[in-house]
Amino acid sequence: MFVVILMHDSFANSFYNTYAWRKCKAAYKQKVGGLCERCLKRGLIKPGTQVHHKIRITPENMTDPSITLSFDNLELLCDRCHEEEHGHQSKWRTDKAGRVEL
């Protein structure tokens, strides 16, 4: 699976390419079991693909590990939940059973 991530904040690219972030991201995915945390709360089993920062990384906080590398500020999301978090609309939705709704 190939996922393209468009970064609107180019300053964050330098952070997302660091060894510390890659290691943190992998450890967090493993810790939470690899499933989308929001879908799981709704009773759906979907793989998580995006480790999302609850507090958005900015030039002012990108050197603060309590924001960038803290598990308390992370959430594992599927692509759909991540897109919804950032205001992107999906062409389809799923019901509580995970069936596609048009």
* 94 located within any domain: yes
Q: How many CB atoms lie within 10 A of CB 63?
A: 10
* 92 located within any domain: yes
* 7 located within any domain: no
Number of independent structural domains in the chain: 1
* 86 located within any domain: yes
* 6 located within any domain: no
pLDDT in tens, 53-63: 999 888 899 89
**β-strand 74-77 against 50-53: which pairing, if any?**
antiparallel
Closest C-alpha among 62, 73, 79, 83 to residue 25:
73
- Boundaries of domain holding 47: 12-101
**H or E segment to which residue 13 belongs:** helix 10-16
Q: Are 65 and 57 in contact (CB under 8 A)?
A: no
pLDDT in tens, 78-102: 999 998 888 765 555 666 666 665 5
pLDDT reported for residue 14: 80
pLDDT in tens, 6-65: 444 566 678 888 999 999 999 999 999 999 999 999 999 999 999 999 998 888 998 999
**H or E segment to which residue 100 belongs:** strand 100-101
* 5 located within any domain: no
* 3 located within any domain: no
Closest C-alpha among 43, 34, 25, 20 to residue 99:
43
